[in-house]
Structure 1
Amino acid sequence: MHDPTLSTMEHRDLIEALAFSRLLPHDTLPAEECLGRRLATDLHSLIPLPPFTNSAMDGFALRRDDLAGEGPWSLPVVADIPAGDTREHRLEAGQAMRIMTGAPLPQGADTVVKVEHTDHAAGVAQAPASVEIRVAPKLGANVRVKGEALEAGSPVLEAGCLLDGTALAAAISVGHGTLAVLPRPRVLVVTTGTELRRAGEALERGQIPDSNGILLRGLVEDAGGRVVANLRTGDTPEELRRALDEAPDADLVITAGGISAGAYEVVRLTLGTDAGFHHVAQQPGGPQGVGATPVGPRGRETPVICLPGNPVSVFTTFHMYVAGALAVMSGLVHPERGATVPSAVMARARVGWESPEGKTQFIPVRFVDEAGTCSGDEAGVRWVEPVHPLGSKSHLVASLAHAQGIGVVAPEFGEVVAGQELAVVALVG
Structure 2
Amino acid sequence: MSSERLSPWQWREEILAAVAPPRRAERVPLEQARGRVLAAAVRSPEQVPALPIAAMDGFAVRRADLTVPGTTVLPVAAELPARPGEVPDLPPGSAARIMTGAPVPRGADAVVEVEATDSDPFGPAPAVVALALESLPVPGRHVRGAGEEIPLDAPLALAGDRVGAGLVGLARTLGIDALEVLRPLRVAVVVTGDELTADSSSDRLGADPLPGAVRESNGTMLAAALAAGGAHALPPRHSGDDPADLRETLDVAAREADLVLTTGGIGHGAYDVVKLLLGERGAGTSRFAHLALRPGGPQGHGTLRGGVPVVHLPGTPVGALVGYHLFVRPLLDRDGATPRRMLLGGEGDGPRRGPAGTVHAMPGRREVVADGREVVRLVPGRRLAPYGRADAMVLLESEGPDGGAAPGSGELAGAPERSVLVLVL
Common fold by TM > 0.5: yes
Q: Does 1:343 align with 2:349?
A: no
Q: How do 1:6-45 residues align onto structure 2 when only pairs under 5 Å count? A: 6-8=5-7, 11-12=11-12, 14-19=14-19, 22=21, 24=23, 33-39=32-38
User: What do you get for the CA RMSD once the two structures are aligned?
Assistant: 4.7
Matched residue, 1:408: 396
Q: Indicate the residue corresponding to 1:107 in structure 2.
A: 106
CA distance in 2, matches of 1:254, 1:425: 24
Mean alpha-carbon deviation: is it higher for 174-183 or for 275-284? 174-183
C-alpha contact (below 8 Å) 1:187/1:250 kept by paired residues: yes
Instruction: Name the SS for the 1:324 alignment partner.
Output: helix
- Percent identical: 29
| Aligned pair partner of 1:202 in 197, 201, 205 | 205
- Give CA-to-partner distance per residue, 1:29-65, whole Å, 9 cap, x none: 6665532133567767665432311245788766577
Which range is displaced more, 190-199 or 317-326?
190-199
* Aligned equivalent of 1:281: 292
Q: Which sits farther off after the overlay, 8-17 or 162-171? A: 8-17
> Is the deviation greater in 174-183 or in 207-216?
174-183
**What residue identity is the alignment partner of 2:197?**
E
- Separation in structure 1 between the aligned mates of residue 380 and residue 181 of structure 2, nearest angstrom: 39
1:314 Cα deviation after fit: 1.8
Which of 232, 240, 246 in structure 2 is aligned with 1:235?
240
Query: Structure 1 92/208 Cα, relative in aligned 2: closer, same or farther at 3 Å?
Result: farther
Tell me whether 1:187 sits opposite 2:187 in the alignment.
yes
Deviation at 1:253, TM superposition (A): 0.9
Three-state SS of the structure 2 residue aligned to 1:426 is strand
- Does 1:387 find its partner at 2:379? yes
Tell me the distance in 1 between the aligned counterparts of 2:80 and 2:369: 61
Structure 1: distance between partners of 2:247 and 2:375: 46
Counterpart CA distance in 2 for 1:11 and 1:111 is: 62
In structure 2, what residue type is equivalent to 1:132? Answer: A
Residues 104-125 of structure 1 deviation map (CA, whole Å, 9 limit, x = unaligned): 32212343887963743xxxxx
Take 1:327 and 1:320, find their aligned partners in 2: how far apart are those partners? 11
Determine if contact 2:56/2:111 at 8 Å carries over to the other structure.
no
- Tell me how far apart the structure 2 counterparts of residues 73 and 198 of structure 1 sit (CA, whole Å): 85
Query: Are the aligned partners of 1:112 and 1:143 in contact in 2 as well (CA < 8 Å)?
Result: no
* 1:62 and 1:97 in contact (8 A); partners too: yes
Q: Which residue of the partner structure matches residue 226 of structure 1?
A: 231
Q: Per-residue deviation at 1:305?
A: 0.8
**Other-structure match for 1:427:** 424
Q: Distance in 1 between matches of 2:403 and 2:81?
A: 76
Q: Report the Cα distance in structure 2 between the residues aligned to 1:53 and 1:18, rounded to whole angstroms.
A: 52
CA distance in 1: counterparts of 2:147 and 2:94, whole angstroms: 27
Q: CA deviation at 1:355?
A: 3.2
Deviation of residue 6 (structure 1)? 3.1
Note if contact 1:353-1:415 (Cα within 8 Å) is conserved in structure 2: yes
On the 8 A contact 1:387/1:403 being kept in 2, the answer is no
Identify if the C-alpha distance between structure 1 residues 53 and 211 changes in structure 2 by more than 3 Å, giving closer, same or farther. Answer: farther
Partner of 2:121: 117
Kindly tell me: are residues 16 and 160 of structure 1, through their superposed partners in 2, closer, same or farther at Cα, counting changes over 3 Å?
closer
Structure 1 residues 90, 59: closer, same or farther in 2, change over 3 A?
same
311, 334, 339: which is aligned to 2:317? 311
Deviation at 1:345, TM superposition (A): 1.8
Q: CA deviation at 1:192?
A: 4.0
Higher mean alpha-carbon deviation, 404-413 vs 265-274, is at 265-274
The answer to whether residue 303 in structure 2 is matched with residue 292 in structure 1 is yes
Structure 1 residues 215, 64: CA separation in 2 closer, same or farther (over 3 Å shift)? farther
Cα offset, 1:349, TM superposition? 6.8
Match of 1:251 among 258, 268, 286: 258
Give the distance between the partners of 1:71 and 1:281, measured in 2 at CA.
81
2:221 corresponds to 1:215: yes
Once residues 16 and 143 of structure 1 are traced to their aligned partners in structure 2, the CA distance between those partners, rounded to angstroms, is 50
Number of aligned positions between the proteins: 388
The residue type paired with residue 425 of structure 1 is V
What CA distance in whole angstroms lies between the structure 1 residues aligned with 2:24 and 2:37? 13
CA offsets, 1:106-157, max 9 Å, x none? 212343887963743xxxxxxxxx8535675876676433244455576655
Determine the structure 2 residue equivalent to 1:91: 90
Aligned equivalents of 1:266, 1:178: Cα separation in 2: 46
> Is residue 74–residue 95 contact of structure 2 (8 Å, CA) maintained in 1?
no
CA 1:413–1:24 in 2, change beyond 3 Å: closer, same or farther? farther
Aligned to 1:220, the other structure's residue is in SS state: helix
Whichever residue aligns with residue 165 of structure 2, its letter is G
Report how far residue 310 of structure 1 moved: 2.0
Q: Is the 8 A contact 2:265 2:274 kept in 1?
A: yes
Distance of aligned partners of 1:401 and 1:309 in 2 relative to their CA distance in 1, 3 Å threshold: farther
Q: What's the TM-score once normalised by structure 1's chain length?
A: 0.68
| 2:48 partner amino acid | L
The C-alpha deviation readout for 1:245-279, integer Å capped at 9, x for no partner, is 44463221112234345566554566453434443
| Structure 2 SS opposite 1:255 | strand
Contact 2:62–2:93 under 8 Å retained in 1 = yes
Name 1:127's counterpart in structure 2. Answer: none
State the distance in 2 between where 1:116 and 1:260 align. Answer: 82
Say if 2:190 and 2:239, in contact at 8 Å, map to a contact too: no
d(CA) in 1 for partners of 2:287, 2:72: 89
Structure 1 runs not aligned, ≥5 long: 121-129, 295-299, 334-339, 373-378
Deviation at 1:191, TM superposition (A): 3.2
Q: Note closer, same or farther for the CA distance 1:408–1:113 as it changes in structure 2 (3 Å cut).
A: closer
How much does 1:302 deviate? 0.9
Retained in 2: the 8 A contact 1:62–1:96?
yes
Q: Cα distance 1:346–1:64, how it changes in 2: closer, same or farther (>3 A)?
A: closer
**What's the TM-score, normalizing by structure 2?**
0.69
Tell me what 1:297 maps to. Answer: none
Shift of 1:96: 6.6
The answer as to whether partners of 1:312 and 1:400 remain within 8 angstroms in 2 is no
Task: Answer yes or no: is the 8 Å Cα contact 1:118–1:131 preserved in 2.
Answer: no
